[in-house]
Chains A and B, each alone.
Chain A
Amino acid sequence: MIEDCLKLTAYFAERERSGDRFLGEALVGVCERHQLLTSIVMRGTEGFGSHQVLQTDRLLSLSEDLPMVLVAVDSRPRIEAALPDIGAASAHGLLTLERARLLTGQVDRVALPEDLHEATKLTVYCGRHERVGRRPAFVASVDLLRQYGLRSATAVLGVDGTAHGVRERAQFFGANAQVPLMIIAVGSGAQLQPVLPDLAALMERPVMTLERVRICKVDGERLAEPRLVADSDETGLRTWVKLMVHADHDTRHAGRPLFVEIVRRLRAAGARGATVLQGIWGYHGDRAPQGDRLLSLRRHVPTTTIVVDVPERVLDWFAIIDELTDQGGVVTSELVPAFHARGAWGETGGLALADRTRRP
């Protein structure tokens, strides 16, 4: 079935605390208490926040407080019911709300809503060791997405989360079978529509979301400028913009890893934050799906770099990203209808969501 839902995303630092617990744990605790349909906490590999201190797993001394991302999805009333607890748990960091379409259970041939036709971001939530025959479900899903011609797909492993309301936390010892995993894919509505029933059939209890995006750049070819303003039917409150760059460890700019360069340049230019998530399997553009290989020193895993800011500044960040993605990467932009950043410096934005007014 297909229904409207909300996606809550929290960007924060790994060592940020909430009372006597780490913030990440406290946030998943809220998702567990509210039995949210799905939530996943991912550990970033590089990034910075409004305090401007770079964190990276490239240097041991700068890897003690890596950026973290929590994504939680459920119906609007259920997410809104959890918001006060989420807000109370996190004193520092960024919270955003995005509208999405939720697909669960058996998916028959779906007619995509009109606004998803330009380009769509599909997110699939499943378990790490869920299998299709003898293959991991995420490998089978990424293959399927590529067969149908989607521009990119990245599977990112979570460290904690909930699936269908039940807590699934990664442990040092243990099978970790249901630790959540998220696949982010981008393509046109026409590419996506036929893949959805097949994809849903791969999973035991599929949970997928669809969001409207604009594909700005693919493999060095510029396709569009970021979309900065909402259509007239979504007006009301101000919106923010999220840029995502899907690439991999092999994607370079001037001989250096693309994500390292993007983070370095954005930080130097005064962006208020950026987060790099590292996947375990995926592809972008024309490349074949890949992950790390046994006995290979070089890493080949996919990377996704995320920047959220006000529309005026996003154009500056897009100019930097545009310059750096000359050799590869898929760049997308999407509107973020609610944004609330808090830190030692104060706070900006809020989580009130503009109601969709009806089309004329």
Chain B
Amino acid sequence: MTVGTWILVALLGGTGSIARFAVDGWVSERLGAGEFPLGTFLVNLSGAALLGGVAGAAVTGNAQVLAATATLGSYTTLSTWMLESHRLTQDDQLLIAGANLAGSLLVGFAAVAAGHAIGAAL
């Protein structure tokens, strides 16, 4: 990879995390006052669908690095998903913690598959 690509990785990586911040914050402020961490859930879900789309469209080379690894990789977050699940168990909200863990896994997998199908059809 060239220096130019690394600089783009840094810029798009930053853009991805700002997008997460914005989406998560927007969702949490409006809908997230309940127990379920909806902001992180929707971020991971949309990121998974988009990443599926990038893979389905068979994007390769630098374009793949920039779209998939840099942008979507920094947009989605495993650590926040885990932290908020752990935080739920601290409040003894085991059902919601389980729903967050299993739900993100199952729905996320389905989102990748759907994104992949759409990307391939384009």
Which residue of the partner chain A has the closest CB to B92?
Answer: A298
- B83 lies within 8 A of A60 (CB): yes
Residues in A whose Cβ lies below 8 Å from that of B29: 53-54, 62
Contact with B along A248-277 (1 / 0, CB 8 A): 011000001100100010010000000000
| Total A residues in contact with B, Cβ cutoff 8 Å | 18
- A59 lies within 8 A of B37 (CB): yes
Interface residue ranges of A59-90 to B (CB < 8 Å): 59-62
- B24 lies within 8 A of A61 (CB): yes
Total inter-chain residue pairs, C-beta < 8 Å: 54
| Nearest CB on B from A290, distance (A) | 14
A299–B39 CA distance with the chains assembled, in angstroms: 24
Q: What secondary structure prevails in chain A residues at the interface with B?
A: loop
- A257 lies within 8 A of B25 (CB): no
Residues in A whose Cβ lies below 8 Å from that of B80: 60
Asked whether A297 is an interface residue with its Cβ less than 8 Å from the other chain, the reply is yes
Residues in B whose Cβ lies below 8 Å from that of A53: 29
Asked whether A358 is an interface residue with its Cβ less than 8 Å from the other chain, the reply is no
- B33 lies within 8 A of A264 (CB): yes
Check A60/B84 contact, CB under 8 A, given A260-B91, A297-B89, A298-B92.
Answer: yes
- B84 lies within 8 A of A58 (CB): yes
- A249 lies within 8 A of B28 (CB): no
- B25 lies within 8 A of A61 (CB): yes
Q: What secondary structure prevails in chain B residues at the interface with A?
A: helix
Asked whether B90 is an interface residue with its Cβ less than 8 Å from the other chain, the reply is yes
- B24 lies within 8 A of A256 (CB): no
- A59 lies within 8 A of B84 (CB): yes
- A59 lies within 8 A of B28 (CB): yes
Select the residue from A53, A60, A260, A264 with max chain B CB neighbours within 10 A: A60
A20–B25 CA distance with the chains assembled, in angstroms: 26
Interface residue ranges of B79-122 to A (CB < 8 Å): 80, 83-84, 86-93
Residues in A whose Cβ lies below 8 Å from that of B32: 59, 61-62
A267–B33 CA distance with the chains assembled, in angstroms: 10
Residues in A whose Cβ lies below 8 Å from that of B33: 54, 264, 267
| Nearest CB on B from A292, distance (A) | 9
A229–B32 CA distance with the chains assembled, in angstroms: 38
Contact with B along A33-66 (1 / 0, CB 8 A): 0000000000000000000011001111110000
Residues in A whose Cβ lies below 8 Å from that of B87: 57-58
Interface residue ranges of A292-341 to B (CB < 8 Å): 297-299
Residues in B whose Cβ lies below 8 Å from that of A297: 86, 89-90
- A61 lies within 8 A of B35 (CB): no
Residues in B whose Cβ lies below 8 Å from that of A257: 91-92
- A298 lies within 8 A of B39 (CB): no
- B39 lies within 8 A of A61 (CB): yes
| Nearest CB on A from B11, distance (A) | 22
| Nearest CB on A from B26, distance (A) | 9
Which residue of the partner chain B has the closest CB to A296?
Answer: B90
Contact with A along B55-78 (1 / 0, CB 8 A): 000000000000000000000000
Which residue of the partner chain A has the closest CB to B29?
Answer: A53
Asked whether B44 is an interface residue with its Cβ less than 8 Å from the other chain, the reply is no
- B40 lies within 8 A of A249 (CB): no
A59–B32 CA distance with the chains assembled, in angstroms: 8
Which residue of the partner chain B has the closest CB to A57?
Answer: B87
A249–B37 CA distance with the chains assembled, in angstroms: 19
Residues in B whose Cβ lies below 8 Å from that of A58: 35, 37, 84, 87-88, 91
| Nearest CB on A from B72, distance (A) | 18
Select the residue from B86, B89, B90 with max chain A CB neighbours within 10 A: B90
A61–B43 CA distance with the chains assembled, in angstroms: 12
Residues of chain A having any CB pair with chain B under 8 Å: 53-54, 57-62, 249-250, 256-257, 260, 264, 267, 297-299
Residues of chain B having any CB pair with chain A under 8 Å: 21, 24-25, 28-29, 32-33, 35, 37, 39-40, 80, 83-84, 86-93
Excluding A61-B24, A267-B33, 10 further A-B contacts by CB distance (< 8 Å) are A54-B33, A58-B35, A59-B32, A60-B40, A60-B84, A61-B21, A249-B90, A249-B92, A297-B86, A297-B90
**Closest A-B pairs by Cβ, 10 of them:** A61-B24, A299-B90, A297-B89, A61-B28, A61-B25, A60-B80, A257-B91, A298-B92, A62-B28, A59-B28
**Could you list 13 A-B pairs, sorted by A, with CB under 8 Å?**
A59-B28, A60-B24, A60-B40, A61-B25, A61-B32, A61-B40, A249-B92, A256-B35, A257-B92, A260-B91, A297-B90, A298-B89, A299-B91
